Amino acid sequence: MIDGWREVLLGDIAEIDLQNLGSKTKPDFEFEYISLSNVEPGRIVGPLEKCKFADAPSRARRIVGEGDILISTVRPNLLGFARVGSDHRKCIASTGFAVVKLNKSFEESYIFHLLFTHQLRAQFHALVVGSNYPAINSNDVKKLRIVAPPLFEQRKIAKILSTWDQAIEVVEELISNSQAQKKALMQQLFFGEERVFGESWSEVSIGELGEISGAGVDKKTKADEKSVRLLNYLDVLNKDYIFDKDLDHWVTAPDRQIASCDIQKGDIFFTPSSETRSDIAHSAVATENICGSVYSYHVVRLRLHELWDLNFSAYAFKSPHFFRQAYQLCEGSGQRYVLSQRYFRQMTVHVPSIQTQRTIGIILRTMDEEIAKFKAIATVLHQEKKALMQQLLTGNRRVKMESTK
């Protein structure tokens, strides 16, 4: 043990789940509810659901206060941990969280950062490994082993790490603002056509635009077939462009499928099914002829009859109007939703002249490149902070303390 540091159990330095709403709570008591889905690693994300106790989910019971730490006890390996700030001090959290209220001999920010270290993650992993359901309970949280220096050193370490948090927060705010600006601009470009460009756009059905094919290749490998790379569902979902260098899943296919399921520059691929409606009809465009590759039966290919600007193709099917059609037309039972080719052919998009396509494509591609630069900076900051945390929170690197004289 490092000189001056000590190991304690979290339950010895904190109250866990100190306050909960009881059965005698007034039915009209109103609050904002923090569900498991509202917590991402390091933060609470909204919007939060507003509830009255009588109508609230049965899990809405944990009373939280400013400075508390929320630890998701359901799939803790996903790091659903967050601090409660002034904005959320009067909220009610799910019983899927352990609510940690530290005593004054420990720095809340220090303990919070400690949750993301290898040492604590290993403890969470040991608690859920081998279980049928990856969850822990409040008693498990109380038994977490915490190693910490004296309080004044905790505060110094927390201050250093908070500086990194502030830098990350600034960059992520830039990303969020840029994405919101892009979304608003897309709405104006695709549905304010005459005001922006002074020309009428044609509303065209997908079936009129080109050849649609969903008879793709499976993921099997057979000795008597040729090896090819496979364009998968995840190569399309939440992507704009498909690049040759990104395809690395090898399968085999017969010659007839290699010929019919090829990938040519300008081909647009869509996701026809998903567990959620919101993931239906996402699209990405092939930026080049990708030799020796085929597409999976989990995606649909649209090969246009006419030449479109490549960048415009990447964005033309991402408007709220297009996704709204997919949301309404897909069919399913709640476990799986599917957009049939019959309905897919009926969906429509608005198409301008090739000159306007090029203008819109350049504008949106430029905005995406700016967002990508911000994301790259955020990634570097996260990596550097993670490395610094591992050094500071284990004592491998000690902070300089001011003289007490």
**Tens of pLDDT, residues 304-328:** 999 999 999 999 999 888 999 999 9
In this prediction the pTM is 0.74
pLDDT of residue 196: 59
Domains of the chain, first to last: 6-148 (3.90.220.20), 202-351 (3.90.220.20)
Q: How many residues are present in the chain?
A: 405
pLDDT of residue 403: 46
Q: Per-10-residue mean pLDDT for the chain, 405 residues long? A: 90 96 95 94 90 93 96 93 93 96 93 94 88 86 95 94 94 94 85 62 95 93 94 94 95 95 98 91 97 96 97 94 93 87 95 92 94 96 93 86 52
pLDDT of residue 186: 85
pLDDT of residue 276: 86
- Residue 314 carries which side chain, given as an amino acid letter? A
pLDDT of residue 105: 87
pLDDT of residue 192: 57
pLDDT of residue 396: 84
pLDDT of residue 197: 63
